[in-house]
Amino acid sequence: MSEPLTEKQKERLRKYIFMGGFMDKSLSLYACRYCDYRVKALSDMPLQDVLWSDGVTHEEYPYSIFPELWYCPKCQRVYRTSKLTELDTIVVGTNINIPEELMPWKDTPRLLEPQLQEYRKILRNQDFGYDVDLEMMVRRRMWQKLNNKYRPNPDKGEFRHAVTLTNEHRELLNDLHPWLYEGNVTKALIKAEALRQLGRFELSLQLLDIIQNEHEPDRIEADWLKVLKAYNNARSTDLVVVGCWDIDY
C-alpha cells in the first residue's frame, strides 16, 4: 500500500522538479476515510475553460478537473472528495517526466469521478441518510453526464445542440429541481436550467427574475442568466455554450 514519502525519497525527487510558477503541478496521496483505500491525484489546469448552460465546466478535459465526488471501489461508497484524508502532497513543478522508478505512488490508482453506470448503482444501493445534499449532487452529476451526449463543442464551432430527454433524464430532473436551494446563485441557475430542459419555461423565467432582482450575480453568472433567459424566451431546450475563455497564466 502506498505511504507518504520519506524525507530521503523527497530529496531524490527534488532534482527532477522544476518550478514554473502558476503552472506548477502537485501530486497528492489520499486515503478513503472509511476503509483506508489509497488513491492519487495530479492537480492540473485546463488551457481553456468552457461553461455550458447546465453548469458543467471543462467536461471535455477529464484529467484537468478535480472531481467533486468519488466512488471508493473497496467500500463502495460515494462521497465528496473534500472528505478524503490527504496523506501527502508533493509539488512536482512543471516537469512531470520524473523517472519511472522515482515516480511516487506509481501503483496507486488515480482518483476518478464515478462513471454513469456507477452512479446508477450508487443511487440504487447507497443509503444517504440525512445527507440530501449528497444525494442531489449524485443526481445532478448523473443528469450532467446524460447531457454529455448532446454537449456542443466550441472547438468545432458548435454552440448549441438539441437534447432528447429519456425517461431517466426526465426523472432525474423532476427529482432534482425541487431540492436546489434558490438562495445560492449557482444552484438557482442550475435549477432554472433543469426547469428549462423540462420545457417549464415560465417557471424558469420567474426564477431567473428572482435571481436577477434579489441576488448579485457575478459577471459569469450574469452571462449565464442572460443566455438562459434568451433560450427560455425562444422556447428552446437546447444545451448551450454560455462562454469559453482561454486561461492565461
Residues binding Zn ion (CB under 5 A): 32, 34-35, 37, 72, 74-75
Closer residue to Zn ion (CB): 34 or 150: 34
CB of 32 to Zn ion, least distance (A): 3
CB of 30 to Zn ion, least distance (A): 11
Nearby residues of 90 by Cβ (< 8 Å), 6 or more positions away: 5, 10, 13, 26, 27, 28, 104
Strands in 48-52's sheet, in edge-to-edge order, are: 48-52, 239-246, 160-161
CB of 71 to Zn ion, least distance (A): 9
Closer residue to Zn ion (CB): 77 or 226: 77
What's the CA gap between 61 and 174, in Å, rounded? 28
Closer residue to Zn ion (CB): 14 or 83: 83
CB of 47 to Zn ion, least distance (A): 33
Closer residue to Zn ion (CB): 81 or 94: 81
Under DSSP, is residue 40 helix (H, G, I), strand (E, B) or coil? strand
> How far lies 176's CA from each of 4, 134, 143, 181, 190, in Å?
40, 12, 9, 11, 10
